[in-house]
Structure 1
């Protein structure tokens, strides 16, 4: 088995993101791999299905500005260069697949809350990333505190 050279880490910017990044940094060090940190924002139009008769552009831009600051703060805490941070807009699984393909990544790492029942049937980002990835996927089990 070849070692990983390029790893994409998808984070949701929640406090639990630290657990995912800690595991990713450990794996990257073990493989001397390049680490990309990514956060994907779903367009507000996706969330509301176009049902709101108003321009959400300014709100979307504010969300992106806040997310970028949080992403860079996380990167700084883990000594990840800000040039390796990617803030994308779209569907999370699809954007992570695309980013991994563009950077020829061999591994995508995401967090998983291990939901069951209805939440599992409806799917999750981790499940979406797993199904459709052209590389290995590691779902880090989030430990609720």
Structure 2
């Protein structure tokens, strides 16, 4: 294991706080010999959201959601100089997709946002908790306060 992080993955939910979480990750990457930074957002498949009981083709709606997510991710990432090849939108269950991506791409630090609610599951949020428990690398939860200011 290296003394420095070499590849930082930032998992975002595309809210206004996502830029704050990304900015924190970029500062960490710079302190780690300019580690590579990848950013990703995971869309849950509509079949999961609606229980798969809807007798209709949701492909076009899923495609629209994917396009919107890619546009929003690009807004956030482009503003921080993250190249398009390091911007990823995937479809699946967030914690599983984050673990898969991290394993396939040799990520050694995952950065996620945390809203600081009460109780352990609420402290990090269900996605953050899932990422923390299944990760094979370090995980940093960046606390995002109610006023939108990121704190560690």
**Residue 116 of structure 1: CA displacement?**
2.1
Q: Deviations over 1:52-75 (max 9, x none)?
A: 222111100000000001111111
CA distance in 2, matches of 1:72, 1:27: 21
TM-score (norm 2): 0.89
Please report how far the alpha carbon of residue 118 of structure 1 lies from its aligned counterpart in structure 2 after TM superposition: 9.4
SS in 2 for 1:104: coil
Match of 1:89 in 2: 91
Distance 1:53 1:117, change over 3 A: farther
Unpaired runs of 5+ residues, structure 2, are: 148-152
Q: Which SS does the other structure have where 2:70 is aligned?
A: helix
How much does 1:119 deviate?
5.9
Aligned residue in 1 for 2:146 = 144
Moved more, 48-57 or 83-92: 48-57
Q: Map Cα deviations across residues 26-62 of structure 1 (whole Å, 9 max, x no partner).
A: 0011112000010000001111111222211110000
1:11 aligns with 2:12: yes
Query: Structure 1 unaligned runs (5+)?
Result: none
Task: Supply the distance in 1 between the matched residues of 2:121 and 2:128 (Cα, whole angstroms).
Answer: 12
1:1-145 matched pairs, under 5 angstroms: 2-31=3-32, 32-117=34-119, 120=122, 124-145=126-147
What's the Cα RMSD here? 1.6
Q: How many residues align?
A: 144
4+ runs of 1 displaced by more than 6 Å? none
Q: Secondary structure at the match of 2:56?
A: coil
Counterparts of 1:102 and 1:139 in 2: how far apart (Å)?
21
CA deviation after TM superposition for structure 1 residue 117, in Å: 4.4
